Amino acid sequence: MPGWLYNRRDSGKIAFLVIRDGSGLCQCVIAKSPETEGFFDQSRRLGQESAVKITGVVRANEKQIGGHEVDVTGLEIVGESTDYPITPKPHGIDFLFRNRHLHFRSRRQWHILRVRATVIDEIRSYFNRNGFTLIDTPIFAPAAGEGAQTLFEVDYFGEPVYMAQTGQLYVETACMAFGKVYCFGPTFRAEKSKTRRHLT
């Protein structure tokens, strides 16, 4: 099982490694013995988010995450992680955005994005079941779709273009060909607001 070290703890001659493989978490148990002594000692120097490959035997354990755990028979260290910047203490939003690629790995973000993906999938499924056609509209547009005061202007090979405020104009033309249509693309508005939900 390839994955990343999410957490670890020791209890005498037993090491408990919680591994994240992208689908969730799994506790992996290393009991120190002549056969495991080499990688048992290696496991003690692993930092959070070190990349590893685990070999072992899966057994049921209702007390553990997912109802099972792995008795480890082999451990390969793919890449060690040192000085992982995100710790349990509170971090500011600027810090987390600068480390967004690592922030994704936190449990809260993992759950938020899983829920978001499920909601989007259900919305798309509803439209698809009811005969709608998905239309992907451009992100760059030559003119304002709505009020010009909220446009993001971008230089595009020497020409001014705007980040789309809405997919409405393109969806309206598409519905003449396809009937029932929907758009699920990103849109952008340069609103003069400074909150957690605004970039400007």
The enclosing domain of 33 has a CATH number of: 2.40.50.140
Q: Is there a single domain that holds both residue 36 and residue 74?
A: yes
Determine contact, residues 73/38, Cβ cutoff 8 Å.
no
> Looking at the structure, do residues 164 and 199 belong to the same domain, yes or no?
yes
Chosen domain end from 129, 161, 190:
129
Q: Does residue 145 share a domain with residue 94?
A: no
d(CA 49, CA 105): 9
Among 79, 110, 140, residue at a domain's last position: 79
Same domain, 62 and 14: yes
Q: How many domains does the chain have?
A: 3
- Under 8 Å CB-to-CB from 6, ≥6 apart: which residues? 18, 19, 20, 25, 48, 49, 105
Return the pLDDT at 164: 86
132 pLDDT exceeds 80?
yes
Q: Pick from 38, 63, 79: which residue ends a domain?
A: 79
Same domain as 153, residue 92: no
Q: Domain check: are 118 and 137 in the same one?
A: no
On whether the CB atoms of residues 37 and 74 are closer than 8 A, the answer is: no
Q: Are residues 114 and 158 in the same domain?
A: no
Say if residue 11 is in the same domain as residue 55.
Answer: yes
Q: The domain containing residue 122 runs over which residues?
A: 85-129
Whole-angstrom CA distances from 87 to 4, 28, 92 are 16, 22, 12
pLDDT, residue 69, reads 92
pLDDT in tens, 147-187: 666 778 888 899 888 888 888 888 999 999 999 999 988 88
Closest CA to 108 of 119, 95, 96, 124: 96
Looking at the DSSP assignment, which residues form a beta bridge with residue 27? 18, 69
CA-to-CA distance for 113 and 109, rounded, in angstroms? 6
pTM: 0.73
Residue 109, CA distances (Å) to 58, 88, 93 in order: 28, 14, 13
Task: Enter the tokens of residue 96.
Answer: 């987390």
Q: Is there a single domain that holds both residue 100 and residue 150? A: no
103 exposed, middle or buried (CB, 10 Å; 0-12, 13-18, 19+)?
middle
Average pLDDT over the chain, rounded to an integer? 88
Mean pLDDT of 97-109: 90
Q: 123 and 58, same structural domain? A: no
Same domain (yes/no): 141, 183? yes
Gap between the Cα atoms of 189 and 184, Å rounded: 16
Q: What would the pLDDT profile of 22-78 be if each residue is shown by its tens digit? A: 888 999 999 988 888 888 888 888 999 999 999 999 999 888 877 889 999 999 999
Please choose, from the candidates 60, 63, 64, the residue with its C-alpha nearest in 3D space to the C-alpha of residue 19.
64
